[in-house]
């Protein structure tokens, strides 16, 4: 008898379909020499590979958070097995202490006492106002004054473990690449020195941080006492879904309409230009707000569609991806139209037309392959813009469901904390730092892809 029930959300299905598509594309790249040569140039870019290492760390967190289940409820022997309405993920199972160790309210990073004074009854003294001990933060210490020494000792041990782990990985890479000198001087075809440097930085930060997270709130807690580090981890999946699933929506529209408009011209071109010109004339925020509010009304009036609150929030997340995709395809479509107008005038395209080759075959065999570098560059560069768009939309209240963890909802919840005295700064700072790191890594990787695929830069 299983003590859990597997749950597949629609967003989970799309995430794993994207993983399968990435594997298929990788196989195609290996079998296509021009694409393989371009991606080898990406792999030789040190800054791009360092950024890719950081992105893989974010992707690992997102994939762990895309394996959902419902735990079984405790019951009497002989009763039918029932499952909780709360949907958890593999990430929740790994970070169970972060999820369950909640405080009453705010607490600063690494604090052992609450952030605000409370009235406490002291035997023999009466009621006094003081900062009470946290329920979980530093609770393993008999004397909270030992916290600095305990933090230093735990961080030191974790740092030593991180260094040893990094040395093991670096030694394995060096053994396969012909020695340390080859790797560190950048003489390998792949930028292993940049990957190892980025991996070393991640290990030195993440290993001590998670070693301390079991006994302390590394990034503090929010208004309801939830660990901010846990919120950051849960927000990664939302950012990745917004960035990746939205591209899945916009890509077919942009590629199909852009190529059709540029290749057939005439009234087809005029019609497609009219559509994206009209769409660009509508303020994007108003269009997204109207669509999200209509979707929210639909969700509220049909509660029977959802067995759990996670399914309800997931539908709104997918609706946001759909709306962003519908409003974001026009730029790439316009770019592909212009390139197609240029390609269709080339001699080999005109020769194929003269020999009676069908338009569909010409588009698939000659036009589309010569536009793929533009598609790849645009999609990689649009990822960071979509992540930032979600943060802005959630901040103004038209983004993801309030129960969904995201960088935007964290920033929105933290805006009132800036008006407190003293200021509760850690929630906003942590969300901003995590989003900044994700967007910066995506932009640096996009630059590497652009340099490798842009024919003018080759």
452 contacts 377 by C-beta, under 8 angstroms: no
Report the alpha-carbon distance of residue 390 to residue 9 in Å, rounded: 20
114 contacts 90 by C-beta, under 8 angstroms: no
pTM, rounded to two decimals: 0.86
Q: For residue 454, name the pLDDT band (cuts at 50, 70, 90).
A: low
* Architecture (CATH level 2) of domain 235-457: Orthogonal Bundle (1.10)
Q: Count Cα neighbours of 428 within 13 Å in the Cβ-side half-sphere.
A: 13
Span 274-294, pLDDT tens digits: 888 888 887 777 777 787 778
Q: Is the pLDDT of residue 386 over 60?
A: yes
Q: What is the pLDDT of residue 305?
A: 76
Secondary structure (H, E, C), 282-316: CCHHHHHHHHHHHHHHHHHHCHHHCCCHHHHHHHH
Is the peptide bond preceding residue 412 cis, with omega within 30 degrees of 0? no
115 contacts 105 by C-beta, under 8 angstroms: yes
What phi and psi, each to the nearest 5 degrees, are found at residue 406?
Answer: -155, 160
239 contacts 390 by C-beta, under 8 angstroms: yes
Please give the residue that has the higher pLDDT: either 162 or 225.
Answer: 162
- Spacing of C-alpha 320 from chain mean position: 15
52: Cβ contacts below 8 Å, ≥ 6 apart: 195, 441, 445, 448
Report the alpha-carbon distance of residue 228 to residue 105 in Å, rounded: 12
Please give the residue that has the higher pLDDT: either 44 or 455.
Answer: 44
- Spacing of C-alpha 188 from chain mean position: 30
Q: What is the pLDDT of residue 456?
A: 54
Structure-token pair, residue 114: 């609450």
Domain ranges in the chain are 235-457
Structure-token pair, residue 26: 């990788």
Q: For residue 455, name the pLDDT band (cuts at 50, 70, 90).
A: low
* Mean pLDDT, the chain, whole residue set: 84
Please give the residue that has the higher pLDDT: either 75 or 204.
Answer: 204
């Amino acid at each position: 008898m299983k003590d859990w029930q597997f749950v597949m959300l629609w967003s989970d299905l799309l995430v794993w379909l994207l993983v399968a598509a990435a594997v298929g594309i990788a196989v195609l790249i290996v079998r296509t020499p021009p694409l393989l040569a371009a991606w080898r140039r990406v792999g030789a870019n040190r800054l791009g590979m360092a950024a890719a290492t950081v992105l893989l760390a974010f992707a690992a967190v997102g994939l762990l958070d895309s394996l959902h289940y419902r735990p079984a409820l405790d019951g009497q022997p002989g009763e039918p097995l029932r499952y909780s309405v709360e949907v958890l993920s593999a990430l929740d199972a790994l970070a169970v202490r972060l999820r369950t160790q909640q405080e009453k309210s705010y607490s600063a990073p690494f604090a052992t006492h609450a952030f605000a004074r409370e009235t406490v009854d002291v035997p023999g003294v009466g009621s006094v106002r003081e900062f009470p001990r946290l329920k979980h933060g530093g609770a393993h210490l008999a004397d909270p004054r030992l916290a600095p020494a305990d933090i230093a000792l735990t961080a030191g041990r974790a740092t030593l473990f991180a260094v040893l782990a990094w040395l093991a990985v670096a030694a394995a890479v060096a053994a396969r690449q012909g020695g340390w000198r080859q790797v560190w001087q950048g003489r390998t075809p792949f930028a292993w020195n940049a990957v190892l440097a980025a991996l070393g930085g991640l290990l030195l930060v993440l290993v001590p941080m998670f070693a301390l997270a079991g006994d302390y709130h590394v990034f503090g807690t929010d208004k309801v006492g939830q660990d901010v580090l846990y919120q950051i981890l849960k927000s990664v999946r939302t950012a990745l879904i917004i960035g990746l699933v939205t591209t899945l929506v916009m890509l077919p529209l942009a590629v199909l309409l852009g190529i059709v408009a540029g290749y057939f011209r005439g009234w087809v071109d005029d019609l497609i230009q009219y559509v994206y010109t009209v769409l660009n004339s509508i303020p994007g925020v108003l269009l997204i707000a109207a669509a999200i509010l209509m979707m929210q009304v639909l969700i509220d009036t049909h509660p029977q569609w959802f067995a759990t609150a996670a399914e309800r929030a997931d539908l709104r997340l997918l609706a946001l991806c759909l709306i962003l995709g519908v409003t974001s395809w026009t730029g790439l479509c316009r770019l592909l139209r212009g390139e197609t107008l240029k390609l269709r005038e080339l001699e080999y395209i005109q020769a194929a037309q003269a020999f009676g080759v069908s338009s569909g075959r010409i588009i698939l065999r000659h036009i589309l392959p010569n536009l793929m570098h533009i598609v790849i560059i645009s999609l990689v560069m649009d990822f960071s813009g979509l992540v930032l768009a979600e943060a802005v939309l959630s901040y103004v209240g038209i983004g993801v469901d309030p129960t969904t963890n995201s960088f935007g909802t964290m920033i929105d919840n933290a805006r009132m904390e800036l008006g407190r005295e003293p200021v509760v700064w850690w929630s906003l700072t942590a969300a901003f730092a995590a989003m900044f790191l994700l967007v910066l890594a995506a932009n640096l990787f996009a630059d590497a892809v652009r340099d490798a695929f842009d024919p003018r830069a080759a």
